[in-house]
Structure 1
Amino acid sequence: MTRVHGGFANRMYRLDTDQGSFAVKEMNLVDRRWPYRVEDVFRFERAAFAAGIPMPEPISAARDTLVHRWVEGEKVPEAPVPEAYAFEIGEILARLHALDVAWPPAPAEDPTPRDWPELAARAVATGQPWADDLTSQVDTFLAIAHFVDTCERPGPVVLTHKDIQPWNLLTREGRPVILDWELSGLLDLSGELGSTALSLAKGPGFDGVKPTIFRSVLDGYVAGGGALPPPGPSWFVFMIGGWLGHTRWNILRCLAGVEASTGPDLALSHESVRNGVRGLPDLFGRLPELEALLA
């Protein structure tokens, strides 16, 4: 097997055999942020693949290893995608949300952690390279945590991929292929649409969001038979909350200072923290202009 670098939470390998090539994913079980529902996700993937959703064929799933058929394609850069590509992603989401797949009820979520002052103090004490940036934004991170806990979600709740971002997509003959399904689960529809549309309509920051690309995802969703939820901040709370949790998880890895045997390399965790500490306050401050995309 050959290691394929670039993943965030898990480690990927390519296995070439006389029966074809396979993507073998080694799951990070050491410090996951939540339990991984192996059987539920695999059943959802098989149903999606059987329904013609463009994705790698799921081959097998065990507690610590996932195997899919290897798919050749071009990586999607973190930049606005073509309108046709965004439209097709919207159509795919509508088809995905229409699948009839059993899923266990979601457990009640714990309150968003409010330990940002303590984390900042530990970062300063241990000389983390991003400690000053985090310290200057503690109040903002507390405000973000409050927003995540109190923002009203209008529903409906759908079973979906939950993480359609450029790094989880390929382009094959100009059309999308959706990768990395292990975060699949139940999610408020507005959060899924807002996260997906925004990620496909922007570059690394938020200065160049393309409204036409954002709307193309929503137009594709409607064309695929979906109905849009009402506008509001709920469209972006899932993206903000997910990034907040991802940043905190990487902060804890950096504070431990140990190169773990699974999951991201320590250098990648530091990069993720820097991006979160600088990018999350920017995203949170732009909520009014992001909501204007829904008008």
Structure 2
Amino acid sequence: MPINAEQVADAFGLGRVLDDRPLANGDRPAVTRIVSTTDGRWVVKYDRLGSSDRPDLAEWQRTKAWTVHRLESAAAAAGIPMAHPVQPPEPSVGFWYAPPDAGGELVRVTTWVEGRDLRSGQVPDEELASWLGGVLARIARLDVEVDQDADASPVHPLDEWRDWVGEAEGATDLELGRAARAVLTVVEDSADLIADALRHRPPLTMTHGDAARANILATPTGLVLIDWESATAEVPWWDAVSNAVRLAAPDERSIAGGDPRIVRALIGSYRDQGGPAGPADATAFTGLLVGHLSFTAWCLWVALGHRDESPEQVAFCTRSLHDAAEHLPRILRNLDTWTRLLA
């Protein structure tokens, strides 16, 4: 049976519950709530191990949870500004409590941080970029075991892409086929760059994995990085470059045409704070390209009906595929310009 707020508060020792309400824009598929108690306010996130049709997910979730646990614990010990997870009672999976006889349900508690995320831009962009570059450098220097299974997004072979695009072009939605074909052109044009970069890939470190504006809070005491559950094994230089370009983007749909001052500020701060740097050439954008193409591949599968997703998710992925068809070619055209900003 589902575990309620009172049971969570009792298990974690949070005090008596005064209020329990949904958190707007809570993460999916987990359900997130704000719980106020006599001891404070808490972010309570619910999830479950596996599912009836995908029991194999449970082992992946366990591995991921302990990977996140190691990175978050090291970051907290190093004093990186973050929302601190509350140590769960046993039995636990990382920072998740797995109540006995709860049918695989999980619950995680984090201290509430009073602030607003930066999607509405309360902090000057160059100031934010300098702060984030320094934080990424500190994360890259943490002594954390690298989980090779948490490696960055997969690179799909060209033959598989061509098969998927052929299927899309045979679908009744002609626009879907045209969008898929445009994406395939980018996959083909970037294949040699990505393959060469991966052959000579520097060592991986554990990274936050999603240091976007939505996961950075402006608080009365400064900026705070939240939501570490996308922890990823990545080349730290590629991660810094990817974050610089994303932060400089004019909107969330496209990363082309961003503000060069933001890229320079983030990369400069990252280097100044001792972040491991790499070549200032096109290979620095490998993580960015692979991440976009991996996400676009998933969207194409969903749009083609190869994933058991809701109509809303199918519509979202179809829109994302059309966005990718428009913006991915611009990313390739911008590589030379962006590369000059890394020097």
Asked if structure 2 preserves the Cα contact closer than 8 Å seen for 1:81 and 1:213, the reply is: no
Larger RCO: Structure 1 or Structure 2 (Cα < 8 Å, ≥ 6 residues apart)? 1
Aligned position for 1:55: 82
What is the alpha-carbon distance in structure 2 between the residues aligned to residue 136 and residue 108 of structure 1? 27
Aligned position for 1:143: 189
Query: Residue 140 of structure 2 aligns to which amino acid in structure 1?
Result: H
**What pairs with 1:72-87 in structure 2 (closer than 5 Å)?**
72-77=114-119, 82-87=125-130
Match for 1:216 among 254, 265, 271? 265
Distance 1:148 1:207, change over 3 A: closer
If the length of structure 2 is used for normalisation, what is the TM-score?
0.72
Aligned position for 2:142: 99
Asked if structure 1 preserves the Cα contact closer than 8 Å seen for 2:244 and 2:262, the reply is: yes
Aligned position for 2:320: 272
Query: Residue 65 of structure 2 aligns to which amino acid in structure 1?
Result: V
Unaligned ranges ≥5, structure 2: 1-20, 87-94, 98-103
Deviation, 1:231, is 0.9
Query: Residue 25 of structure 2 aligns to which amino acid in structure 1?
Result: H
Distance 1:283 1:175, change over 3 A: farther
Distance 1:121 1:197, change over 3 A: same
Query: Residue 201 of structure 1 aligns to which amino acid in structure 2?
Result: A
Deviation, 1:226, is 3.0
What is the alpha-carbon distance in structure 1 between the residues aligned to residue 295 and residue 48 of structure 2? 16
1:272-295 C-alpha deviation (Å, 9 max, x unpaired): 222222222211222111111113
If the length of structure 1 is used for normalisation, what is the TM-score?
0.82
Query: Residue 92 of structure 1 aligns to which amino acid in structure 2?
Result: V
What is the alpha-carbon distance in structure 1 between the residues aligned to residue 151 and residue 130 of structure 2? 34
Aligned position for 2:232: 185
Aligned position for 2:25: 5
Aligned position for 2:164: 119
Distance 1:281 1:5, change over 3 A: same
Query: Residue 189 of structure 1 aligns to which amino acid in structure 2?
Result: P
Asked if structure 2 preserves the Cα contact closer than 8 Å seen for 1:197 and 1:214, the reply is: yes
Query: Residue 326 of structure 2 aligns to which amino acid in structure 1?
Result: R
Aligned position for 1:163: 210
Distance 1:178 1:191, change over 3 A: same
Larger Rg: 2
Percent identity over paired residues? 24
Distance 1:218 1:135, change over 3 A: closer
Query: Residue 125 of structure 1 aligns to which amino acid in structure 2?
Result: G
CA RMSD of aligned residues (A): 3.3
Asked if structure 2 preserves the Cα contact closer than 8 Å seen for 1:89 and 1:176, the reply is: no
Return 125-134 or 248-257, whichever deviates more. Answer: 125-134
What is the alpha-carbon distance in structure 2 between the residues aligned to residue 294 and residue 265 of structure 1? 37
Deviation, 1:52, is 1.7
Unaligned ranges ≥5, structure 1: none
Aligned position for 2:219: 172
Aligned position for 2:176: 130
